[in-house]
Amino acid sequence: MLYLVRHGQTYWNAALKMQGRVDIPLNDVGREQAAKAGALLAGVHLDAVYASPFSRTVETAKIVLGGRDLPIIRKGLLVEQAYGLSEGLPREVAQAPGGPMEGYGKDPANFKPDIGGESFEELRERAQRVISEILIPAEKTYENTLVVAHGALFCSVYSVLLGLETKDFWKPKLENGGIGRLRLEKGKLVVLPGLPQEPA
């Protein structure tokens, strides 16, 4: 089984800023969310842990692991979608009509990235690599694997697996500290219901 955990809330999540590739740490709410995810997974014997190399994902992984002595394998493929010059902007400014990330949240099918940003098509290509190079090999090798990464990256993985169009990109979204599950069946990854999440 693959357990996908989105990192806990960061200071920029709380401030509604475009985060992307900027390495912003967890805040106290985010640490609580990670601890709740850890409590839900406390009874699961984990064999391997993969994480995006950012501090918010690595700290979330450490909190979820609790006292379990497992190395965290950092993978650059798991980083968040790049927002280019829009990173650090307030969300309402970046995504406003005429803004540099107009349509990002409400009309992803027509979204064009800011300078230096990553399009949904490019993110989907990377998600396909995440599936083929990380998730399927891990599922073939280990009984239970923890993967800690980011909201848009996980949305893209789900979009690929579920065959969703770009307009529906945000429908299978994990909240901060949320847990999703995947399982390999007949050579293909299948999306299973996620674990229940209490409000932070």
Residues catalogued as catalytic? 7, 80
Report d(CA 80, CA 76) in Å as an integer.
Answer: 9
Which tokens go with 145?
Answer: 């694997």
Name the residue among 163, 195, 168 with its Cα closest to residue 3. 195
Which of helix, strand or coil describes residue 71? coil
What is the residue whose two structure tokens read 């902007």?
Answer: 89
- Give CA separation, 77 vs 94, 111, 115, 124, 189, in Å: 25, 22, 20, 12, 18
Whole-angstrom Cα distance, residue 165 to residue 162?
9
Query: At 182, which helix (H) or strand (E)?
Result: strand 179-185
